[in-house]
Amino acid sequence: MRKLLLTGAAGRIGSRLIEDLVDEYELTAVDKDCSSILDWAEKGCTVKECDITRYEECLSFCEGIDTVIHLAGNPSPKATYDEVKEVNIDGTYNMMQAAKDQGCRRFIFASSIHAVKGYLADEQVKTTSQVRPLDVYGVSKAFGEAMGNYFAYQEGLEVIAIRIGGHRSIEMMAERGEQPDMRQKSTYISAKDMNQLIRRCVDAELSRPFEIVHGVSDNTFKFLDLSDTREKVGYKPEDNGFDFE
């Protein structure tokens, strides 16, 4: 079985991803606080605490790993530079360097729609569009994309950066009694589609060492264009944010 390392495993995406990975891969799930995912240790998943701001810990966990799925980070668009620097910037560098130093084959980086959210709501963003962040959180994700490009072309580590849209955003709005607008529907990605996309990124044969792919569902209008993402990794989203009323 291919060995995977999942960082940020206790987060909103990671905690739902474990179930889709644990039966098909030899999975190690790490987070700074693993208390909410400890039950997976009894179901074939290795669960450990890891501080990605410490390079030696990153190096240890990358040993023998085929693919790193790096979800760990400060997820707040309201975060200050100091709040994102240690984890989103330094931590991302630590994980990529550790993956390279341990001979990992592939690194999947959780970028974000926030790296390009400065485009107008009715303007479709391509994977080739220049970054246009609205906040320093988005800047930190643009940094990760650039760092991934460097490690891919200069250090021999395959890297896929996924610009993730609004993960389960509409479901969470419904729980609060709120109605999504056009932009929220166009940036939506369901948990099922998110999990499928990550698994496709793990298994895809790449034609280039670095790729950016887009993480939205099959929304009627997609703020993030999916045409080349489908081609690069075989992504086949099934849900549609515009189906929600």
Residues 59-88: tens digit of each pLDDT: 999 999 999 999 999 999 999 999 999 999
Reading the block at residue 166, the tokens are 């609004």
**How many whole angstroms separate alpha carbon 72 and alpha carbon 93?**
12
Can you say whether the dihedral through the CA atoms of 216, 19, 24, 209 is positive or negative?
A: positive
Residues 114-169: tens digit of each pLDDT: 999 999 988 999 999 999 999 999 999 999 999 999 999 999 999 999 999 999 99
Catalytic residue set: 137
Residues 218-239: tens digit of each pLDDT: 999 999 999 999 999 999 999 9
Give 130's DSSP letter. P
Q: What's the number of domains the chain is made of? A: 1
**How many whole angstroms separate alpha carbon 213 and alpha carbon 76?**
21
Q: What is the CATH number of the domain that holds 180?
A: 3.40.50.720
pTM given for the model: 0.97
Cα atoms in the 13 Å half-sphere on the side-chain side of 75: 14
pLDDT of 118 reads: 97
Flag whether pLDDT at 204 surpasses 90: yes
* Domain region containing 141: 3-243
